[in-house]
């Protein structure tokens, strides 16, 4: 799929469907977003290599004190923090195998924990620009600082979290009963790397909130960790090993789809979407219609190009934030709604937990309809 998307993007440029200057504009806009993606993925992968997520999951198990429900809530809290600070891909791709391993060690049903990671990867990604790549894309249009962004999105984020965790608790109440055995100690090979990784992750969020560009914060964190590994564990930085840590598939997919969407924009896509999404008002019904359009687009063609497709319909900050609610929390019905959900499914299968597309869609519909609807209405509180 990433190769096909990249080839499609190349084709629309070579055939002139997207002029070269327009392709350059797309590249200049998406370069900081893709730079952040590469750097933050490297930070997360190296932090995982250092054992940070394993240690955090075991701490959650100890704090749970043997209560399965309490352990589940702590995992939800961990997923929320990681998504907010290190983006949804970290939670869906890197935290999922850790949580599933924790569930196996504690001998509890892994399904609620798996759904918690993938659902919260989407619904916990509204608070900060770094929480979701779509938020970063919107930055050039919103002209808000990280604090300003959070000031406008926090009601929607709170609602999304309450709906998600509440539905998970109700939906899986039978599976979350009982107690569990406390897991054993996590073997940490190098505590210097562990603490360095922890410090980088902890400082990422505050640095962005303080006003530093997201991609420079992520790049600085990656450089610090690469330097630490070069000194402490140089074997982990072998060229082939390092190349395997980089999200090249997501980069190819994103660039290709962005160019395809640009071509569609030039040939009537915006007009068609305007018919579906309705007018340009900031009232409740207008916002719900816009966020609903964003949900459908995100599930059909992936959330990143869906954002660019719907963005021209957002003529105010509130409308643009409604689009973000749809493309952040909405692509949890069809597995290809975001690459994170596809990779999450792979991680689950590798641990022996298979989630079919039909089951994923049924569960996702139960969440997306109330979460996106109520999250969109919550935007009216800070309008």
Digit-coded pLDDT (tens) for 160-216: 999 999 999 999 999 999 888 877 777 788 899 999 999 998 888 788 777 788 788
Average pLDDT of span 22-40: 82
Confidence (pTM): 0.84
Range of the domain at 74: 2-382
Average pLDDT of span 15-36: 82
More confident residue, 96 or 258: 96
Give the contacts of 355 (CB within 8 A, at least 6 positions apart).
114, 345, 348
- On the CB side of 273, how many CA atoms lie within 13 Å of its CA? 28
67 forms beta bridges with 179
Q: Quick one: which of 307, 309, 312 has its CA closest to 325?
A: 307
184: three-class secondary structure by DSSP: coil
C-alpha span between 332 and 340 (Å, rounded):
10
Q: Evaluate whether 137 touches 33 at the Cβ level (below 8 Å).
A: yes
Token pair of 11, please? 């084709």
Indicate the pLDDT class of residue 116, thresholds 50, 70 and 90.
very high
* Eight-class DSSP state of 128: S
Could you write out the DSSP letters of every residue in 192-240?
HHHHHHHHHHHHHHHHHHTT--HHHHHHHHHHHHHHHHHHH-GGGG-HH
Q: How do residues 53-78 score in pLDDT, each as one tens digit?
A: 888 888 888 888 889 999 999 999 99
Task: Examine the pLDDT at 273 and tell me if it is beyond 80.
Answer: no
C-alpha span between 136 and 130 (Å, rounded):
6
127: three-class secondary structure by DSSP: coil
Q: How do residues 313-334 score in pLDDT, each as one tens digit?
A: 888 999 999 999 999 999 999 9
Q: Evaluate whether 149 touches 142 at the Cβ level (below 8 Å).
A: yes
Cα separations in angstroms, 184 against 58, 108, 156, 311, 338: 8, 15, 38, 49, 35
Average pLDDT of span 127-144: 88
C-alpha span between 256 and 2 (Å, rounded):
8
User: Which residue has tokens 């019905």?
Assistant: 333
Cα separations in angstroms, 41 against 91, 229, 252, 379: 11, 16, 15, 30
Question: How many distinct structural domains can be found in the chain?
Answer: 1
Identify the pLDDT of residue 152.
Answer: 95
Instruction: Quote the longest CA-to-CA distance of the chain.
Output: 62
CA dihedral 259, 263, 264, 268 (to 10 degrees): 150
Average pLDDT of span 224-230: 94
Could you write out the DSSP letters of every residue in 89-148?
HIIIIIIHHHHHHHHHHHT--SHHHHHHHHHHHHHT-SSSGGG-HHHHHHHHHH---HHH
* Eight-class DSSP state of 131: G
Indicate the pLDDT class of residue 1, thresholds 50, 70 and 90.
low
353: three-class secondary structure by DSSP: coil
Mean pLDDT of the chain: 87
């Amino acid at each position: 799929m990433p190769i096909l998307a990249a080839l499609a993007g190349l084709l629309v440029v070579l055939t002139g469907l997207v002029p070269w200057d327009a392709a350059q504009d797309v590249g200049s806009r998406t370069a900081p977003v893709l730079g952040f993606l590469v750097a933050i993925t490297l930070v997360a992968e190296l932090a995982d290599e250092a054992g940070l997520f394993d240690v955090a999951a075991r701490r959650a198990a100890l704090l749970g004190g043997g209560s399965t429900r309490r352990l589940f809530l702590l995992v939800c809290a961990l997923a929320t923090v990681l998504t907010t600070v290190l983006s949804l891909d970290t939670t869906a791709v890197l935290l999922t195998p850790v949580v599933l391993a924790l569930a196996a060690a504690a001998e509890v049903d892994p399904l609620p924990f798996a759904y918690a990671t993938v659902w919260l990867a989407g619904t916990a990604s509204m608070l900060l620009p770094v929480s979701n790549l779509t938020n970063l894309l919107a930055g050039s249009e919103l002209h808000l600082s990280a604090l300003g962004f959070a000031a406008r999105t926090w009601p929607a984020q709170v609602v999304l979290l309450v709906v998600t965790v509440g539905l998970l608790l109700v939906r899986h109440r039978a599976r979350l009963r009982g107690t569990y055995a406390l897991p054993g100690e996590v073997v940490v090979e190098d505590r210097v790397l562990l603490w360095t990784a922890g410090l980088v992750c902890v400082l990422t969020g505050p640095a962005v909130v303080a006003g530093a560009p997201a991609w420079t914060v992520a790049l600085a964190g990656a450089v610090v960790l690469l330097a630490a590994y070069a000194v402490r564990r140089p074997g982990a930085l072998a060229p082939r090993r390092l190349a395997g840590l980089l999200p090249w598939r997501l980069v190819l997919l994103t660039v290709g789809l962005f160019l395809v969407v640009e071509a569609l924009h030039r040939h009537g896509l915006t007009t068609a979407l305007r018919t579906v999404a309705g007018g340009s008002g900031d009232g409740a019904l207008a916002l719900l219609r816009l966020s609903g359009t964003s949900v459908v687009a995100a599930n059909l063609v992936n959330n990143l190009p869906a954002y660019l497709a719907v963005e021209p319909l957002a003529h105010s900050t509130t409308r643009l934030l409604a689009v973000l609610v749809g493309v952040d929390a909405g692509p949890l019905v069809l597995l290809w709604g975001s690459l994170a959900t596809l990779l999450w499914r792979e991680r689950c299968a590798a641990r022996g937990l298979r989630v079919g597309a039909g089951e994923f869609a049924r569960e996702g519909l139960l969440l997306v309809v109330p979460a996106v609807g109520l999250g969109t209405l919550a935007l009216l509180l800070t309008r």
